[in-house]
Structure 1
């Protein structure tokens, strides 16, 4: 059976994980209980929902949306949940369920709509629920059920309509359409009359009917409408002595075996008449009846068939020797809360068949050997009395007793003879007494005792061999005492003990200093030592580790030591080779020794909650090396700043990680990838930073379909302050995403375009770029000269000419201007600095000369370097706006031939220029004008030329 359940669980896990869009949907969580019949359960309860959450995993079988604010169920709310079997929508505000809203749930078996505000169950409301077997509509405002409501619910077995506003029994007609209805709950409505004539046909298969807490004044059965009824609850129905009870034939209720007629007002005559209507009842509750003596009540109620009787709250202060005489066949008797003060030895002498007696919550102080007459008693409940002492003969004859409850009395001591005859006793509960010691109490047995509860007493010491005779004991509860001394071999003889609870005592490190404390318990599997006082001053290894003899221990709890454990010695867990679960929370420890778990290779669950692990080295990857099979770890409230220690911890089997309420800011991809089997991640209440450093985690938490990030929608940003309090899941990660394909496209495209551009520029604009570069140098040179306005010029004029004109320059120009007129000229061949770039020499020559003389010829116009010279000179002209450029035409050049040379043509149109005389013409005027042009100051009026106005006169 367990193998089948496990298989079903694994199958559901696989299907869910495969088909869900992600685990971190809304605020719901997925519950993975192995014990919950193999089903996966989605919990959306107490989340503040106003409507059905969506989307939900398609293959869930159990959905809980209780305790929300949902006010309606609309069509389509469950259209993806065809595999749902159990649906709980209780404790909401639902007043309306649309037609066909539940029709998408063909496999639903259990529907809980209790604690809502539904007034009418309509015909279409439950359409499509062909598999429904349980329907709860209790605690609503139901007033009406439409006729065909249950017509299609052929598998319905249970309907609960308790606590509604139903008034007329005839309104239950629709329930007659349910062929297999077995359980019907109608308690606490407003039915005043129950008349079989109002019900047109019988509830053929009904076995249980609850009509409790209805103000009935009439109960009449003229037809057998309940042929199979076994359980009938009429408690708190008849509150006046004038009600009408009539059953035409007592055979109508002969199938009823269990009857609850408690807390009704009825006289003796009526009671006798009513009891005759139930000839075959075997179990009856007559709690809280008033108006007659209990002896009379029992005479009316104790039929030969009666086996169980509840008589709670009937003020039976004294149990006489005749009171139970009519009930000789009873097996079970409950006398809770009757104020019983005293019992006689013969009080139960007629109840020789009694197997269960419960006299809890009374005023008994002693037993007075009353129970010796009950040799067949198996269960005895005496808790919540005032018993102080137990005599050796009180249980002397109870050789069949299995369970004895003595908790919440005033017992101080128990002698060894008290339990000596209880050879079959299996469970003994003595919690919440005032027992000071149990030394010798169990010296004589009971030898078959399996469960012993001594919680909340005043025990201070456990002596050696105290429980030696209890070799069948499996569970021992000693919590909430004052134990601070446990002698070696205190638990000797408990060879079958599986669980021991010692929490909330005064156990110290000294108490456990001897490993023989737990000697004699070789099969102990669970030990609880939480809330004690033991502590250690360092991680230094202990001489005598306390658990070295407990090789079979599976679970150890040492959490919440009242003075703080502070340190866990490196060999504290020595001997626990089979330990699987270790609770070490709230111990005030700041780090763990790397050898802490070398003795526990099978550890699967580690709880370190509420410790101070703020130091980044408090937990290291080496610490987890010996426990690579760890399945679950809890680190909540430990001041953790990082989970980086998990990266190299090799926790490949970890499925659950809880680290809520810490100081975690970032969760990187490496951490998550180091946990390949992670199924549940809880990181609530951390100090998350909402920026791109967490973008990967946010996207993964929302979209992954392998790990459930619990309550992701509740994660809040702490940093930056501008986003403090905002939802982490709502952070826009799109801005953090880098499209590498697009970047590669842009990069490659840019390279291609740049290559083409460079090729084009090199081929067509190479000299222009070179010129632009040197022009920029000229600009810098000009700027430098402006900063030193008083700087003298080195030359009066720079002569710009083509090499073809060099003879004329040397033979005529230089002699005339330098030799005759004393001007200083700058010439290429003579004044350019050797080794210096030509363009640099040109720039220096132009800017170090007061004027630039351009000797224009056809060859000049074709020369690249001449073009550079005139362009630099033009730049200086337009920059300084001074008369620094003189054009001299040595050849006749028509205007149309200047068109290709745009800059030259523009200069000619806007400036005056000189023309060299033709052969035979007088040259004296030419040389005089040229000398005057060179010597003319730069600030002479030339504005109109520079402003772009044409000048027709020539020098």
Structure 2
């Protein structure tokens, strides 16, 4: 259901034949999974055509229409077996051709000969046995060739590839390559560009020594590319002489742990020249050495999923960035990494077990970026012990370490710190943050959900350059908020959500002239008078959702910042009473800036039902107001006018009388009928033959009140309508047709029924649309058009299948809440 709705909004136009959809008008067409056997009509200027998951077993020279502007053609899994010569002659300008998942049986030397502009060719899972079979030497603009998941036995590349000036990527993943020899890689040494080769998931058993001698690659991927640990160890050694910018080795995380006896299984890396290495470790050795000495010359080292319990000291001669993710370390390797003078960025995150921070990082003068988030760190040391002689740290992320108890005293050693993140990490706030006075360069501070309590208005003193401050779930004593942010004149984002704040003083945001984002959701605010602050000149987004706000006065609404683009006040108990119609109207007029308006509800004493502000009908308030005015005028007129005038307006008097009778009627009363039917006499045939026949003679029988049959003789019609019809029946059924709209009695009865709803004399009204009525005509009946927009109704379609559902739903609607 959701996917269908997304297609309705994203794909605006269906192409002739109802099989394709225009993603971009006249340019991009999606014809996916339509069981097509031929190309549907598309614009001759089409640039992108997705024909995947259709049925085209054979492509001949007349298969494609003339699409000379086509750049991308996707034929994924179209059951293609045969491609004739010149099959692509009418789409010769293609830059990308995708043939994934087609069991190609027949192609010739001339199959792709017209594709001189092709830049990307995808032949994944096509049953290919050799790259040579594709005949690509004429594709001099080729940049990427993906032949993964085939049966290629070798890495052999056509010699003509050495002349491809723009070639960048050769993807050979998941093939049957077991042996790599020198003669198969000779072309790589002649290629001019820095290319990427992907050999992951190949059962490599042997690489001839020197097969990659004097070969320069941009990237080489060898994940899960060897059949045994021994083959991996020897294979790395055989890569001697290879120069590669980025080397990716190891295994995929869902594979089993591999136990190796020899701790030197990575020694082959010493013979390879690389700048970056990514090691997805599944090997578990006795020595537990995640960072091999052979990696020490790399500028960037990444170890993922490492089975690391203890890290030995390694001398990283050139390393600037070290990343250890999802390891199993028991202690933070601070002592082992200390004294690394080249290291600039350190990331140790997502450790699988709690990790003790026993020793601090020291003597690391180049260290600027530290991310130790989500490690379950256990420590009680202060900063002087955790970070010593690391004066140049600019970024420090210690978030999601719930077991830690960090004492912020000692932060004066971080004079260059610009980003500090303690999100969801427990803090010890001795000294009320007075130690932050040295953090003059700090621009980002996140202390959300850290258990922080502020009692001193000078707690943030010294943070004049702060741009972002997040302090969700903090506590503020007494009037500390009144002056807490006074010196943060450059602040652009402030998050004080879920802090149990009952009141934000007008002066609390006094100096925040550059504030663009204010998040105060999840508090106990009843008023937002602070938004009148004339210094809030830059506010763009305001979040005040989930507070206790019922209304916002006109003077506050009129003084909202002119720059405001978004206001979220969802899940507040908005007062939708008739006394607050101005505020409700303001909400409805500003849908363009109100976020989550569909979750903005009216305050209700009933917990079982919630009415959205969007669904609140201002017309009801107008109607009540009119009724009150009418009654007041009527009383005055009744006292002043003569009996003749009283007689002239007796119809209105009766109307008011029955309304007053509704007010004084007891809550519990006996009903004579299940439903009172409002209909035009011109629709009587349908009412008697269809409605009465199906309801009164059904099981159980439903007793209807029909004015032609059940109104008491000699009694005024208005009394009959109210007492016998509306007040004497549990429900009201309105049979809407053109005759209904034109009937003054029908309009009167419907208005009386609505009035009864307002005063609680009737539970609800059931609408039956007997025939379509134009919108303008429906507005002749007071409240009918509004009622149809805000309530579910039944529509008579006069066919057997629909009629069954119609009578079932109608019977259920009438019987509901009647005690049957």
Q: TM-score range by the shorter chain?
A: 0.5 to 0.7
Verify the 8 A CA contact 2:444 2:466 in the aligned structure 1. yes
Shift of 1:530: 1.1
Aligned counterparts, 1:636-655, within 5 A: 636-644=545-553, 646-647=556-557, 649-655=559-565
TM-score normalised over the length of structure 1: 0.54
Are the aligned partners of 2:425 and 2:449 in contact in 1 as well (CA < 8 Å)?
Answer: yes
What is the Cα-based RMSD across aligned positions, in Å? 4.6
Match of 2:327 among 399, 405, 409: 409
CA distance in 2, matches of 1:213, 1:689: 67
- Separation in 1, partners of 2:423, 2:572: 27
Where does residue 447 of structure 1 map in the other structure? 366
* Deviation for aligned residue 1:526: 0.6
Give the 3 Å change call, closer, same or farther, for CA 260–533 of structure 1 in structure 2: same
Radius of gyration: which is bigger? 1
Inter-partner Cα distance in structure 2 for 1:370 and 1:74:
57
How far apart, in 2, do the equivalents of 1:199 and 1:506 lie?
66
* CA distance in structure 2 between the aligned counterparts of 1:364 and 1:689, rounded to whole angstroms: 72
Gaps of 5+ in 1: 1-44, 54-63, 76-93, 537-541, 667-687, 739-769, 774-955
Written as runs of structure 1 = structure 2, the 5 A alignment for 1:588-603 is: 588-603=500-515
What is the CA deviation profile of residues 831-856 of structure 1, one whole-angstrom value per residue up to 9, with x for unaligned ones?
Answer: xxxxxxxxxxxxxxxxxxxxxxxxxx
SS of the residue 2:97 aligns to = strand
The correspondence of residues 361-376 of structure 1 with structure 2, limited to 5 A, is 361-364=281-284, 366=287, 371-374=292-295, 376=297
- 1:696–1:141: structure 2 CA closer, same or farther, 3 Å change rule? farther
Check conservation: 2:457, 2:480, Cα contact below 8 A. Answer: no
Counterparts of 2:45 and 2:111, CA distance in 1? 27
- 1:309 and 2:220 matched: yes
Aligned-pair CA distance for 1:463: 1.8
Q: SS in structure 2 opposite 1:646?
A: helix
**TM superposition shift of 1:634:** 0.6
The question of whether the paired residues in 1 share the 8 Å contact of 2:73 and 2:97 is answered with yes
Map of 1:97 onto structure 2: 20
User: Where does residue 171 of structure 2 map in the other structure?
Assistant: 260
Q: How far is the alpha carbon of 1:262 from its aligned partner? A: 2.0
1:409-808 matches, cutoff 5 A: 409-413=327-331, 418-420=336-338, 422-433=340-351, 434-437=354-357, 439-441=359-361, 443-465=362-384, 466-467=386-387, 469-481=389-401, 482-490=403-411, 492-507=412-427, 510-511=429-430, 513-516=432-435, 518-535=436-453, 542-543=455-456, 545-561=458-474, 569-613=481-525, 615=526, 618-621=527-530, 624-644=533-553, 646-647=556-557, 649-666=559-576, 696-697=585-586, 700=589, 707-708=592-593
Does the CA contact (< 8 Å) of 2:250 and 2:282 recur in 1? yes
Aligned counterpart in structure 2 of residue 324 of structure 1, from 237, 240, 245: 237
Deviation of residue 409 (structure 1)?
2.0
Q: Deviations over 1:662-684 (max 9, x none)?
A: 22244xxxxxxxxxxxxxxxxxx
1:193 aligns with 2:102: no
Q: Does 1:73 align with 2:37?
A: no
Aligned residue for 1:418, secondary structure, equals helix
Matches within 5 A, 1:887-926: none
Give the corresponding residue for 1:125.
42
Secondary structure of the equivalent of 2:518? strand
- Against the structure 1 CA distance between its residues 403 and 316, is the aligned structure 2 distance closer, same or farther, given a 3 Å change threshold? farther
- Whole-angstrom distance in 1 between the partners of 2:207 and 2:18: 46
Deviations 1:717-740 (A, max 9, x none): 88899x9888876888789999xx
- Describe the superposition over 1:728-760 as per-residue Cα deviations: whole angstroms up to 9, x where unpaired: 76888789999xxxxxxxxxxxxxxxxxxxxxx
In the alignment, structure 1 residue 385 sits paired with structure 2 residue 306: yes
Q: State the distance in 1 between where 2:38 and 2:320 align.
A: 49
2:20–2:32 contact (8 Å) kept in structure 1:
no
- Residues 343 and 370 of structure 1 are in contact (CA less than 8 Å); yes or no, is this contact kept in structure 2? no
- Cα distance in 2 between the residues matched to 1:135 and 1:401: 46
For the structure 1 residues 556 and 285, does the alpha-carbon distance in structure 2 shift closer, same or farther, using more than 3 Å as the test?
same
Identify if the C-alpha distance between structure 1 residues 370 and 265 changes in structure 2 by more than 3 Å, giving closer, same or farther: same
Tell me if the contact between 1:633 and 1:657 (Cα under 8 Å) persists in the aligned partners.
yes
SS at match of 1:49: helix
**How has the CA–CA distance of structure 1 residues 714 and 420 changed in structure 2, closer, same or farther, with 3 Å as cutoff?**
closer
Alpha carbons 2:83, 2:107 under 8 Å: kept: no
Alpha carbons of structure 1 residues 716 and 222: separation in structure 2 relative to 1, 3 Å: same
Aligned match of 2:656: none
Cα deviation 1:628-655 (Å, max 9, x = unaligned): 4322101122232112273364523322
1:347 pairs with 2:267: yes
User: How far is 1:502 from its partner?
Assistant: 0.3
The structural deviation recorded for 1:597 is 1.9
Residues 470/115 of structure 1: CA separation in 2 closer, same or farther (3 Å cut): farther
Displacement after TM superposition at 1:454 (Å): 4.3
Contact 2:502 2:523 in 1 (8 A): yes
Look up the SS of the partner of 1:461 in the other structure.
Answer: coil
**Distance (Å, rounded) in 1 between the aligned partners of 2:605 and 2:33:** 43
Q: In the aligned structure 2, how far is the partner of 1:571 from the partner of 1:692?
A: 36
The corresponding residue for 1:400 is: 318
- Distance in 2 (alpha carbons) for counterparts of 1:265 and 1:689: 76
Q: 1:148 to 1:548 in 2, by over 3 A?
A: farther
The structure 1 residue matched to 2:250, chosen from 336, 347, 358, is 336
Q: Look up the match of 1:206.
A: 118
**What is the number of equivalent residue pairs in this alignment?**
603
CA distance in 2, matches of 1:124, 1:410: 58
In structure 2, runs of 5+ residues without a counterpart are: 253-257, 624-641, 646-820
Flag the 1:551–1:626 CA change in 2: closer, same or farther, 3 A: same
The separation in 1 between residues aligned to 2:272 and 2:130, in whole angstroms, is 39
CA contact (8 A) 2:52 2:78 kept: no
- Superposed CA offset, 1:313-342 (max 9, x none): 135535647742343223233222183745
TM-score, length of structure 2 as denominator length: 0.62
Question: Contact between 2:520 and 2:544, CA under 8 Å: does it hold in 1?
Answer: yes
| Mapped contact 2:288–2:307 kept (Cα < 8 A) | no
Contact 1:261–1:284 (Cα < 8 Å) also in 2: yes
**1:405–1:430: 8 Å Cα contact kept in structure 2?**
yes
Q: Distance in 1 between matches of 2:84 and 2:521?
A: 56
Q: 1:47 to 1:181 in 2, by over 3 A?
A: closer
Q: Which residue matches 1:816?
A: none
1:715 offset after TM fit, Å? Answer: 7.3
**How far apart, CA to CA, are the structure 1 residues paired with 2:613 and 2:432?**
49
Write the distance in 2 (CA, Å) between the matches of 1:662 and 1:572: 27
Q: CA deviation at 1:358?
A: 2.0
CA distance in 2, matches of 1:372, 1:649: 65
- Deviations along 1:487-525, one digit per CA (max 9) or x if unpaired, are 4223x33333221110111225x4461411x24321111
1:564–1:316 distance in 2 versus 1, CA, 3 Å: farther
Partner of 1:953: none
Asked whether 1:151 is paired with 2:69, we answer no
Asked if 1 retains the 8 angstrom alpha-carbon contact of 2:87 and 2:111, the reply is no
Structure 2 CA distance for partners of 1:690 and 1:261, relative to 1, 3 Å: farther
Residues 713 and 173 (structure 1 numbering): CA distance in 2 closer, same or farther, change over 3 Å? farther
Say if 2:174 and 2:199, in contact at 8 Å, map to a contact too: yes
Q: Is the 8 A contact 1:215 1:237 kept in 2?
A: yes
How far 1:228 sits from its partner (Å)? 3.1
Task: Tell me the equivalent position of 1:288.
Answer: 201
CA offset digits 1:779-811 (Å, max 9, x no partner): xxxxxxxxxxxxxxxxxxxxxxxxxxxxxxxxx
Three-state SS of the structure 2 residue aligned to 1:606 is: strand
- Tell me which residue corresponds to 1:251: 160
